[in-house]
Structures are given as C-alpha cells and as structure tokens.
Amino acid sequence: MLEFSSRRLWLRIVFMGTPEYAVLPLEYLVLNHHDVVAVYTRPDKPAGRGLQPVSPPVKNAALSLGIPVIQITSFKNPETVEQLKSFKPEAIVVAAFGQILPQSVLEVPCYGCLNIHPSLLPRYRGPSPVPAAILAGDDFIGVSVMQLDTGMDSGPVFARAQVSVLDHDTTATLLPKLFRIGAWMLLEVLVALSSGKALPEPQDHAMATITHEITREQGLIDWKQSAVEIWRRIRAYQPWPGAYTYWQGKQLKILEAVPLKSSSGVEAGRVVEIAPAGGNLTDGFGVGTGSGVLLVLKVQLQGKRAMTAAEFLRGQRGFPGSLLG
C-alpha cells in the first residue's frame, strides 16, 4: 500500500527511455515538479529512403524540455557510469530503454532504478510482453512499476494495473495506453519512496513467463493456421514487423482483418469473395485458413500506400481466386 507524508515529494531523477510511448512518463515527471537532470536514450538511427539519421522521440522531447541528453548503446564503459554518477540522481526511471542495466548502474541512485513494464509481472517478462498477450488471446493485460535488479524484469513490484484487451486492440494501440497508466502509477510510487512508505512485493519466480525479441520473419503469415490465430498475429505484430503474405512476388501486408466462423472448406491461402445475403460484396475479401475464413479489411501492397480491401480489389481485378503465400 502507498502512503503519503509531508516530506519533500520531488526527487532528483535520471530518465532512460527511447520510443514515442516513453515520452509521456518523462513529461509527467517534469509536470509534477521532479528534477529530471538528464535523459539517457538510444543513438539516432538511419531511416527512410535517404537513410538520414532520425532521433529517438524521447531525445526530441527532452531537448524541447531543456534537459541534457546522453545517447548510448551500453554502460560497459566505466567512464559512462562515472558520467551517470556525476548527475547524482536519487532515482533512475526506466521506460522502454532497451537494455538491462548492470549492477554498477543499479547502485548509483539511493532509491534505486524503477521500471515501467507493460505486463502483469511475473507474467510476460522480457522485450515483447504486449505481442505475447495478444498472441495468447488474453482478455486482460497490464502494467507494472517495479524495482530493477540484474535479472530480466525479475525485481520486486511496487504497483500493478489491469487493462482489458479489446478485439480491435493492437500492440500499437495498447502500448501508449499502458504507459500512460504506468506514468500515473510511477508518480505515486515516487511519492511513497520519498516518504519512506513504499514496500515492493517480491515476484513469484515460479509463475514467470519469458518473452523474446520479435524477428521480421515472424510476420510471415502461415495460412494453415486458424483464422483466429492469424487475426491475433496481425494485431500483435502491428506496427512491427507487420503481418504479411506474398502475391505475384510482392509483399502484401494485412493491416486489419477479422476471423469468420465459417468453415467452408476454402483452401488455405485461397482468396475468395465474401457476399452477404443481399448479394453485394462486403468491404473486404476472404482468405481460406486452416480453420475458418479470414475477412481482410485493410492491406498495403509493396511499394503502395495502405488502402481498404475494397479499394485494393477495385484495382486488382484478377485477385479473387488467387493463392497467397
């Protein structure tokens, strides 16, 4: 339980994070008067056709807030750890930073290192908890604020919150929601820490499940899987690597779809037209799977913009009846 006191409630903090959904926790810390003395993030990455360097969203946010930014790939260099010590943080806050912190870093702040992790720990430790929850068909997912140790998301937990997983939810829609909730929980944990009333709960390691890095190849659709399994993959792998198949040698991304209960015996990967009782085509097309038909609603053909399935069909007259894969 979190309790409050009249002691100083703001802390001197170093923030570590990288993607867009990690910006909100940083902004919440500043808006709630914590002294964020430095932001650590990953290096710029080349992107786009010109492969121009693109800054991480957290870097851009920190610079706009006037906070010093340090971009690193690891803390293996002792000088990097000494630089961190020079900021004299009372706490380090981590939100999707992308690396395990060594003991030399964990020992720097007196209040330790706090992490916002998008799962109900100990379930779904590791780098891809949200895709794992969608793939498993979980009705609920969650977010935890935890104390980091040298393991992978194995430290004690200060607070958890549960969120429903809706049929239209994807990794892209759930992560911002979870980190917004996590940011509010983090503020309460920091208040409890500063008042000496925060008591983290050790995890039950026997209940832990581990997730792994997602590869680009995992986005390739196996049409022999069921329509429900493929539908979950489409949602889990959005925005990256995306769920895709091939048609006429070109990659075709399936951006939105729903499983149909029909077991019409359509060949796995075969494109079919879906006609309702009225006789008019629906807004999408069907694809046979190992069990059921997947109704595809939105696609993106290689080199083209994203479009509705109906729009795609109008431009590809010979598409119905073809075999994907």
Tens place of pLDDT per residue across the chain (325 aa): 344 444 567 899 999 999 999 999 999 999 999 999 999 999 998 877 778 889 999 999 999 999 999 999 999 999 999 999 999 999 999 999 988 899 999 999 999 999 999 999 999 999 999 999 999 999 999 999 999 999 999 999 999 999 999 999 999 999 999 999 999 999 999 999 988 888 999 999 999 999 999 999 999 999 999 999 999 999 999 999 999 999 999 999 999 999 987 666 889 999 998 865 444 446 789 999 999 999 999 999 999 999 999 999 988 888 999 999 8
* Cα dihedral across residues 233, 125, 99, 92: positive or negative: positive
> Tell me, what's the pLDDT at 49?
74
Structure tokens at 53: 């360097």
- Where are the extended beta strands (E) located within the chain? 12-17, 35-41, 45-47, 52-54, 69-71, 91-95, 113-117, 140-147, 157-164, 244-247, 250-260, 271-273, 285-288, 293-301, 307-308
Rounded-to-integer distance, Cα 34 and Cα 194, Å: 11
Residue type, 158: F
pLDDT value, residue 4:
40
Residue 135 is predicted with a pLDDT of 98
Partnered with residue 117 across adjacent β-strands are 144
Among the listed residues 10, 5, 17, the one whose alpha carbon sits nearest the alpha carbon of residue 195: 5
pLDDT of residue 80: 95
DSSP state of 80: H
d(Cα 139, Cα 150) in Å, to the nearest integer? 31
Domain with CATH 3.10.25.10 in the chain: 216-315
Tell me the whole-structure pTM to 2 decimals: 0.92
Q: What spatial distance separates the first Cα and last Cα of the chain, rounded to whole Å?
A: 53
User: Residue 37: CA atoms inside 13 Å, Cβ hemisphere, count?
Assistant: 16
Length of the chain counted residue by residue: 325
| pLDDT for residue 2 | 42
> CATH 3.40.50.170 region(s) of the chain?
12-207
292 conformational bin, left if phi > 0, alpha if psi -120 to 50, beta if neither: left
Q: Are strands 113-117 and 140-147 parallel, antiparallel or unpaired?
A: antiparallel
Dihedral sign of CA atoms 116, 118, 122, 127 in order: negative
Q: What is the CATH number of domain 12-207?
A: 3.40.50.170
Q: What superfamily would CATH give domain 216-315?
A: Formyl transferase, C-terminal domain (3.10.25.10)
| DSSP assignment of 204-245 | -GGG--B-----GGGGB--TTSBHHHHHHHHHHTTTTT--EE
Q: Which residues contact 21 (CB under 8 A, 6 or more apart)?
A: 95, 96, 175, 176, 178, 179
